[in-house]
Structure 1
Amino acid sequence: MNFEVLEPGDRRWGELFAALPRAARDVFYSPGFASLCQETLDVAHRVRCAAYADDDGGVLLYPFVLRRMETLVDLPAAAGLADTISLYGRGGVVGEAGAEGLAAFHRGLAAYMAEQRVFCSFDRLHPVIGNQRLNPPAGSLRDVGGFVVVDLRPSQEGIEASFKSSVRKDIRKAARNEVKCFIEGNCDHLGDFLDIYYQTMERNAASEFYYFPKEFFARLPELLPGMFSFIYAVAGDKIVSCELVLHCADYSHSFLGGTLREALPLAANPMLKFEICKEMKACGCQYFLLGGGQAPDDGIFNFKKAYAPEGVYPSLVGGTVWNTQVYDDLRGGMLNVGLPVATNRFQFYDL
């Protein structure tokens, strides 16, 4: 039995990722995605992966971001402390191991967290894999709202029939408007993608975090070869809607995208989603994960739900307090000096 903590550049991470059962192998647990995320982080924050393998074929992977608390909380008590969060996307522990192996993994993980002075961890768990069963024994779970997943296993006709009638109507409308789609596994039209994506983020008043730089996308062919696709919708001779889809094994994800304001009446985005479902099914994916909203049952969630009215999964997050005394002391210290504390967040300092 072997527990280790790996960096994105470690060959061992790639080997263990490839050894995961297909049902547990999603892009968010790959070393390539970890390397991509590392470039978007504060220099004090590092991507790591707790890993376990045994002689019986058991493999467990747990990618996370190790964050230094002094960059998050302006308080002397935060110096030297750390926390962890999932990478952008889905997280938590994935893989398979017997009861003894899972216990050994969690012992190794607890020791590592103590060594790094990590006092709490937060994970956005995978709704389809259902990896909450692999959470640390001391961890807690919370359902933060629905997570929409299109089931790609039925026939193409069955998938389309599962859409809400309003979506099917929009697809027909887009066809009348002669909206066409094309797909690329490269960055040949990255300039068009960025123009539309940034305009969409500005229109929706998105936070600075979502303004991923051009370099992030330009490294996709190097870091995620065969695991990304850009899909574009064209009206006339102009690209009007686009989406970056990440995919691996059974899972495909609506990652980032947008639509020009003037193209919204054309119903280009519903046609785009329809073509994504066809393409991802052809690639062998069984699920197309659309995600949830910013709040339960908000407009974003209901927009996504129209593509899978029967495909709403619980969206679970996990929180683990490794050191209760430090957790409580930091919260109390922040309250004492008047720093804002979120009452509805596990990581109360991460506003």
Structure 2
Amino acid sequence: MTMHNVSVFIKKSDWVQALSKCERCDFYHTWDYHNVSFFNGEGSPILFDVNINGRGLIFPLLERSIEGEVKKDLTSVYGYPGPLLYGDVDETYFNELWSCFVSFLVDNGYVSLFSRCHPLYFNGYIKNHSDFSGEVVFIDLYLSEDEQWRFYRGNHRRDINKLNKIGVVCHYDDDSSNLDEFIDNYYSTMNKLNASDFYFFSRDYYLKLIESTDFKARLYSCVYNGEVICSGFFVFFKEIVQYHLGGTKPGFYHLSPTKMMFDKVRRDAMELGCKYFCLGGGVGGRSGSLFNFKLGFSKHVEEFRTIKLILDESSYRELSSHATGDDSFFPKYRIKP
């Protein structure tokens, strides 16, 4: 007899217990990170645990109200979260779990679901329910130091050696010591890239990252002649370290201090026993100069996929009827006028 069960969790204790059933997860799946996103106005943390005979699917998301509507929708946190599996799940079991999950969302009145997927912990079975959105670069930390260094592009190695020679030093803080300098450098970089308002996070956002107990957020700084010329937030969690946010001080782009910062994080992560260092992808998941820059550290790339589900066709059409602009944006009714 097949037993279906969908549990919904919003409390941290339940969330932690649910994630403990999964062999692998990242900081993007944690309650703390979802709570940081909640305080950033992105939605309320909610985790779905779909279980069939002891095998299951875990999906942490953010629940959002839709202005002027009783119904709600679901989205993922910024980064690479996505669904996780536990137990011995084959393709047949996955399809049953997925069907059960989608039916539950429809029955509970959700209009749509959008989620980014984790490039490493992505399960091949979800391919039929997701779209290819780009590639993400990883450094394999289980390789020897010499092998990792050899994978660096020649100009990356030369620039790192030059930064060392002229006296640039990179260090980290796990407190807010250099937070103001980071914010200045990060905002300057976002302005240079004409980034949307979403990427201009508040000071409280960074403080909540630092204060988290679910994961370890470190703020790395490259210092030259007493000035912080490059800064980045990196999050360490179990076997993986993620490059979260970063920026360079105007006037110092020619030195490419991010190269030294990445190299320092890589070496620290190795000492901590991490297996992977995720550098991320290009702007908006696309290839380009940023993606090419990251490829200069490693040729290990993984697919980045996104899930776009319309759960209530009629409501979605009605809500989107007045939306104009980018047809690739999902859900369409959330395009800002």
TM-score by length of 2: 0.88
Runs of 5+ unmatched residues, structure 1: 72-78
- Show the counterpart of 2:61: 64
- Show the counterpart of 1:208: 197
The letter for the 2-side match of 1:10 is K
Q: Could you tell me how far apart the structure 2 residues matched to 1:223 and 1:53 are? A: 29
Q: Could you tell me how far apart the structure 2 residues matched to 1:182 and 1:89 are? A: 24
Q: Could you tell me how far apart the structure 2 residues matched to 1:131 and 1:252 are? A: 20
Instruction: From the superposition, tell whether residues 329 and 98 of structure 1 become closer, same or farther in structure 2 (CA, over 3 Å).
Output: farther
Q: Could you tell me how far apart the structure 1 residues matched to 2:276 and 2:129 are? A: 27
Q: Cα offset for 1:172?
A: 1.3
- Show the counterpart of 1:350: 334
- Show the counterpart of 1:157: 146
Q: Cα offset for 1:63?
A: 1.1
- How far does the alpha carbon of each residue in 1:189-247 deviate from its partner, in whole angstroms, 9 at most, with x for none? 22222222222222332221111111111123432455211111111222211110012
RMSD: 2.5
1:85 partnered with 2:88: no
The letter for the 2-side match of 1:165 is G
Equivalences for 1:191-230 in 2 at 5 Å?
Answer: 191-224=180-213, 226-230=215-219
- Show the counterpart of 2:122: 130
The letter for the 2-side match of 1:133 is Y
Q: Could you tell me how far apart the structure 2 residues matched to 1:350 and 1:294 are? A: 21
Instruction: From the superposition, tell whether residues 60 and 154 of structure 1 become closer, same or farther in structure 2 (CA, over 3 Å).
Output: same
For the residue of structure 2 that corresponds to 1:342, the secondary structure is coil
For the residue of structure 2 that corresponds to 1:301, the secondary structure is helix
- Show the counterpart of 2:251: 262
The letter for the 2-side match of 1:15 is Q
The letter for the 1-side match of 2:327 is T
Instruction: From the superposition, tell whether residues 329 and 191 of structure 1 become closer, same or farther in structure 2 (CA, over 3 Å).
Output: closer
Instruction: From the superposition, tell whether residues 133 and 349 of structure 1 become closer, same or farther in structure 2 (CA, over 3 Å).
Output: same
Q: Is the 8 A contact 2:112 2:308 kept in 1?
A: yes
- Show the counterpart of 1:323: 312
Q: Could you tell me how far apart the structure 2 residues matched to 1:180 and 1:348 are? A: 46
Q: Cα offset for 1:183?
A: 1.7
- Show the counterpart of 2:22: 20
Q: Is the 8 A contact 2:174 2:217 kept in 1?
A: yes
Q: Is the 8 A contact 2:7 2:49 kept in 1?
A: yes
Instruction: State the identity %.
Output: 21
Q: Could you tell me how far apart the structure 1 residues matched to 2:164 and 2:95 are? A: 55
- How far does the alpha carbon of each residue in 1:70-126 deviate from its partner, in whole angstroms, 9 at most, with x for none? 27xxxxxxx233221111111221132344875664455334412442122121111
- Show the counterpart of 1:110: 102
The letter for the 2-side match of 1:297 is S
For the residue of structure 2 that corresponds to 1:5, the secondary structure is strand
The letter for the 1-side match of 2:16 is G
For the residue of structure 1 that corresponds to 2:41, the secondary structure is coil
- Count residues with an aligned counterpart: 329
Q: Could you tell me how far apart the structure 2 residues matched to 1:32 and 1:132 are? A: 27
Q: Could you tell me how far apart the structure 2 residues matched to 1:224 and 1:46 are? A: 19
The letter for the 2-side match of 1:199 is S
- How far does the alpha carbon of each residue in 1:246-280 deviate from its partner, in whole angstroms, 9 at most, with x for none? 12112211101111122223332111111111111
Equivalences for 1:24-43 in 2 at 5 Å?
Answer: 24-41=24-41
Q: Could you tell me how far apart the structure 2 residues matched to 1:205 and 1:163 are? A: 29
Equivalent in 332, 335, 340 of residue 324 of structure 2 = 340
Q: Could you tell me how far apart the structure 2 residues matched to 1:213 and 1:345 are? A: 25
Which stretch has the larger CA shift, 278-287 or 197-206? 197-206
- Show the counterpart of 1:168: 157
Q: Could you tell me how far apart the structure 2 residues matched to 1:107 and 1:292 are? A: 31
- Show the counterpart of 1:75: none
Superposed structure 1 runs of 4+ greater than 6 Å apart: none
TM-score by length of 1: 0.85
